[in-house]
């Protein structure tokens, strides 16, 4: 799940910012052109794509800094698999 989520999130960010060279560890906010509006779009994308609900206490910028941290968030919010 995590690896797949990471790739999907990276694809989403790269599609929006094709000029950026982004890897899974890169802080997308440090790149300078990602703003709060895009952060909200990321929230909506993650909720819809991975069928999770991101509670308010998880709406912190550190959760959305990189594909890695977003994939970790998805893992935390996804129902446990058996």
Partner 1 sequence: MIVGIGVDLVDVARFAATLERRPALRERLFTEVELQGRSVSTGLVSGQAGALCTGHAGDELCGETFADAGREVPVASLAARFAAKEAVAKSLGGPPGLAHREAEVVVGDHGRPMLMVSGRAEEIAGELGVRRWHLSLSHDGGFAVAYVIAEG
Least distance (Å) between residue 5 CB and partner 1: 18
Residues at the site binding partner 1, with contacts judged by CB under 8 A: 36-38, 40-41, 43-45, 48, 56-57, 59-61
- Distance in angstroms (rounded) separating the CA atoms of residues 43 and 47: 6
Residue 69 CB, nearest distance to partner 1 (Å)?
A: 14
CB of 14 to partner 1, least distance (A): 16
């Amino acid at each position: 799940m995590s690896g797949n989520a990471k790739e999907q999130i990276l694809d989403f960010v790269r599609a929006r910012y094709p000029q950026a060279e982004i890897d899974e560890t890169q802080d997308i906010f440090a790149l300078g052109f990602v703003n709060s509006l895009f952060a909200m779009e990321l929230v909506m994308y993650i909720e819809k794509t991975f069928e999770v609900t991101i509670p308010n206490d998880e709406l912190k910028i550190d959760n959305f800094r990189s594909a890695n941290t977003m994939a970790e968030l998805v893992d935390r919010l996804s129902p446990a698999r058996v």
